[in-house]
Amino acid sequence: MQKEENNTRRDFLKKLSLGVGGSVVALSACNSPQFDDFLQKNFKTLSKEDIDEIVLNLEKKYTEKYGKQFSVSGKPAIDDTLFGYALDLSRCVGCRKCVYACVDENNQSRDPQIHWIKVLQMEKEKGIDFAHADVHYNPELVPEEGRFYVPVACQQCANPPCVKVCPAQATWQESDGIVVVDYNWCIGCRYCMAACPYGARNFNWSEPNEPDEEINPITHYLGNRPRPKGVVEKCTFCIQRVREGKYPSCVEICPTGSRKFGNLLDPESEIRYILENKRVLVLKAELNTQPNFFYFFGV
């Protein structure tokens, strides 16, 4: 009786170890890209060589999949740079050009629809009041009398609640202040969405859907590369543009010049001029998220 039990357990363990060992050998031998993906380490711990290889493989994969030459950058933060953004509430007219420029630049899903920027219409009488803000306004002409507009995207907080709650360390803040998501590490739990007080994070409930011909093939690993189903995505200040020195695409499209961007550590920058000379506010300052996204009154 006793012997039989021992045998059973021993047998089981033997078989188990054989099985596990065998499958590890088999899997490592097969060397498939999916398997590499699966075993990929956290992006923050990768060496430069690892990143270069991963990025190269992704370029190959996307180029095949979408039928156009893709570039995927793994470019790290520029030294002595902390990105800041300022939006002129006295000039924004609520035209939503930024929303769709962002969608195009950053390969957001068209259907189901994902918008990283949400333009909130508010009443001048009430001031900044999220409870009564309207994101679906659609008059013949903007701006409407007695209304003002507050475009909201990721505030790139210096004290980001979304990063704190992530159980997988799949989202973090880079040294240039951009809060990024590694889509390979995101497990889709959406804790970060619950933690974000600005509604700035978006979830891919299904496979993102974008016409191939509209896909922007100039991408960054931590930004606008094509996302899989089941991951969270958000504004990255157009990481693929700003780390090359360009302005984010919302800055370039804004017809009223309401959007300003620059290096907070450079005393000569536009953003520093605003902080030093204009009336500036941050959204929900009482939550101590310390946004690097400022709103100001240019007049």
Q: For 162-231, what is the HEC assignment?
A: HHHHCCCCCEEECCCCCEEECCCCCCCCCHHHHHCCCCCCEECCCCCCCCHHHCCCEEECCCCCCCCCCC
* Smallest distance from another protein to CB 16, Å: 45
CB of 297 to another protein, least distance (A): 11
Minimum Å gap between C-beta 127 and another protein is: 22
Terminal alpha carbon distance of the chain: 90
Closest approach of another protein to the CB of residue 162, in Å: 21
Cis peptide leading into residue 228 (ω within 30°): no
Q: Are 296 and 86 in contact (CB under 8 A)?
A: yes
Q: Which is nearer to another protein, 66 or 247 (CB)?
A: 247
CB 44 to another protein: min, Å: 25
Nearest to 117 by CA among 139, 138, 101: 101
Least separation in angstroms between residue 37's CB and another protein is: 30
Beta bridge partners of 205: none
Rounded to the nearest 10°, the torsion over CA 281, 282, 283, 286 is -100
**Shorter beta-carbon distance to another protein: residue 66 or 130:** 130
CA 296 to chain CA mean position, Å: 24
Alpha-carbon distance of 58 to 60, in angstroms, equals 5
What DSSP character marks residue 115? -
Write out the two tokens for 38.
């699966």
- Identity of the residue, 37 or 266, whose beta carbon is nearer to another protein in the bound complex: 266
Considering the complex, state which of residue 43 and residue 116 has its C-beta at the smaller distance from another protein: 116
Task: Tell me how crowded residue 225 is: count the other CB atoms within 10 A of its CB.
Answer: 22
Closer Cβ to another protein, 130 or 273, answer by number: 273
Smallest gap from Cβ 230 to another protein, in A, equals 18
Residues binding another protein (CB under 8 A): 78, 93-97, 99-100, 112-113, 115, 118, 135-143, 242, 245-247, 251-257, 260-263, 266, 268-270, 273-274, 277-278, 298
**Do you find a cis peptide bond into 160, omega within 30 degrees of 0?**
no
Q: Name the minimum Å distance from CB 132 to another protein.
A: 16
